[in-house]
A and B are shown apart, each in its own frame.
Chain A
Amino acid sequence: DAKTTQPDSMESTEGETVHLPCSHATISGNEYIYWYRQVPLQGPEYVTHGLQQNTTNSMAFLAIASDRKSSTLILTHVSLRDAAVYHCILNSGGSNYKLTFGKGTLLTVTP
């Protein structure tokens, strides 16, 4: 069973801010929320991760709901290079190193 739910696709225009939602209603207390993105013919690229607090880095801002049942990846001033499939994945780390990828959200960016 999928542990996260994401829209299949979203569209944006260059320069806009994009909010990519992810629902994880059954998240456990020790599970981190990870975001990866993948463009065709390339390996997944780490974007960001968080546990409870909102986080920010050079790639994105991750907003985590106070009950941790959902999160939103926010991309500001998107460019054509941000077009990719974005994956929201739960990872408890420790001895369970497996990342389970779903279909993710295909972000299309138009000029």
Chain B
Amino acid sequence: DPKIIQKPKYLVAVTGSEKILICEQYLGHNAMYWYRQSAKKPLEFMFSYSYQKLMDNQTASSRFQPQSSKKNHLDLQITALKPDDSATYFCASSQPTGGKDTQYFGPGTRLLVL
């Protein structure tokens, strides 16, 4: 059974619209993350949450808003979508240990903005 679920797998949106990317993890972890990967580029860190609190935000735009309704959920709301937002968005989770911290990634949501 998949331990990190991301929904939907594929998403097509029009410019200016709003979408929510869903992430649920069943690993019992207390830290969750979002990364983005644009075409043929390395993964880029976006956010990290620990115990449902924002720890780090590396996105320049407020159009990207993580939402943590439950300990094992970290959704990503994207507003006023632009074609440049087209990318694959990966959710990850880990158990904070105060030292090493192994992150496990979900399968990703591929977003295409037209």
Q: Chain B: how many interface residues by the 8 Å CB criterion? A: 30
B106→A43 contact, CB < 8 A: yes
Given A51-B100, A93-B100, A97-B56, CB of A44 within 8 Å of CB of B90: yes
B100 & A102 in contact (Cβ 8 Å cutoff): no
Q: Could you say which of B48, B50, B102 has the most chain A C-beta atoms within 10 Å of its C-beta?
A: B102
Q: How far is the CA of A46 from the CA of B93 in the complex (A)?
A: 12
A residues in contact with B102, CB < 8 Å = 34, 46, 49
What does the 1/0 interface line of A40-71 toward B look like (CB < 8 Å)? 01111110010100000000000000000000
CA distance A42 to B88 in the complex (A): 9
CB distance from B111 to the nearest CB of A (A): 14
A103 touches B31 (CB 8 A): no
Beta-carbon contact of B42 and A99 below 8 Å: no
Give A43 to B110 CA distance when docked, in angstroms.
11
Chain A interface extent, by class: 20 to 34
Is the beta-carbon distance between A42 and B108 smaller than 8 angstroms? yes
A95 on interface, CB distance cutoff 8 Å: yes
A93 close to B98 (CB less than 8 A): yes
Closest residue to B88 on the A side, CB-wise?
A41
Residues of chain A within 8 A (CB-CB) of B107 are: 42-43
Nearest 10 A/B pairs, CB to CB: A43-B105, A93-B101, A101-B43, A97-B48, A101-B42, A98-B45, A32-B100, A44-B105, A43-B90, A93-B99
> Could you list 22 A-B pairs, sorted by A, with CB under 8 Å?
A32-B100, A34-B102, A42-B107, A43-B106, A44-B43, A44-B90, A51-B100, A91-B100, A93-B96, A93-B98, A96-B56, A97-B33, A97-B48, A97-B55, A97-B101, A97-B103, A99-B43, A100-B45, A101-B42, A101-B44, A102-B42, A104-B42
